[in-house]
Amino acid sequence: MAVLTSCNRKIGAIFGKKKDKLEVVDPEFDYFSARAKFKFDDGKKDVSATANFRIKKDSVIWLSISPGLGIEVARVLIDTDNVYVLDKMNKHYYEYTFKELSKKFDFDFNFQMIQSVILGNLVEPYKKQRVEKTDSYFSYTASKGVYLFHNFIGAKSMKLEKVQVYDEGTRNTISVNYSDFILVDGEIFPNEISAVIDYEAETKPNTEIRISYNKMVIEDTPLSFPYAVPSKYEKK
């Protein structure tokens, strides 16, 4: 893991002045774009490709996937209510509410969770929970509904380096690891992200996602998020 010593000017102490706030620095921006190597494997589909991301913070996530030679095979648009997927290889398209997507993957997804995972932000923030310290991490557990969030914050990076989300209902777990942090226009981002959805049911294979960024930009001007379904595409 690469740790940026220049981050120290932004990090400050582990707790705020009132000792009631864990200081974990989330990147600030309005618009963000990135290019990354992307791998997705759910036991049925194994996709390795280049992915181009565009984000309007707290509003829209846009993703274009190309396996090579600049040929786009899929496009994804995520807003605060829905997920839209355009499968250009098979001329299909998919539309999910977050409730439908959560049912499909047996996990409660929402926009903020997806955005937090992509950016390396805390999914469930610190609220005076008991913090344990080791040489490597500050860690604490937060709960929300049937979910437990086990957060591991790097003692040197002061960024979220690991999070495990446990569903007490299904006993499924999402584990996400972040590493190789870099500065982009003074904001701290993880360069490497790996995530695994581990299902309790042995009949359902794990889902694995890896993102390796090779370009990240905080944009000075608004981005577009083009998404249109051709008339000949079939809804699935």
CA terminus-to-terminus distance, the chain: 41
Residues in the chain: 236
Q: Which two tokens stand for residue 17?
A: 């002045």
Tens digit of pLDDT at every position of the chain (236 positions): 333 433 433 433 445 444 555 667 788 999 999 999 989 898 888 888 999 999 999 999 999 999 876 789 999 999 999 999 999 999 999 999 999 998 888 778 899 989 998 999 988 777 778 888 888 988 889 888 888 999 999 888 888 999 999 988 888 999 999 999 999 998 999 999 999 999 888 778 899 999 999 999 999 999 999 999 999 999 99
Strands (E), 100-231: 132-133, 137-144, 147-154, 160-167, 173-184, 187-198, 207-219
Written out in words, the top-level CATH class of the domain with range 5-221 is mainly beta
Q: Which two tokens stand for residue 223?
A: 């981005």
β-pairing, 160-167 with 147-154?
antiparallel
Q: H/E element holding 235?
A: strand 234-235
> CB atoms < 10 A from the CB of 216, how many?
20
70: Cα separation from own chain's centroid:
24
Nearest Cα residue to 185 out of 8, 13, 32, 2: 32
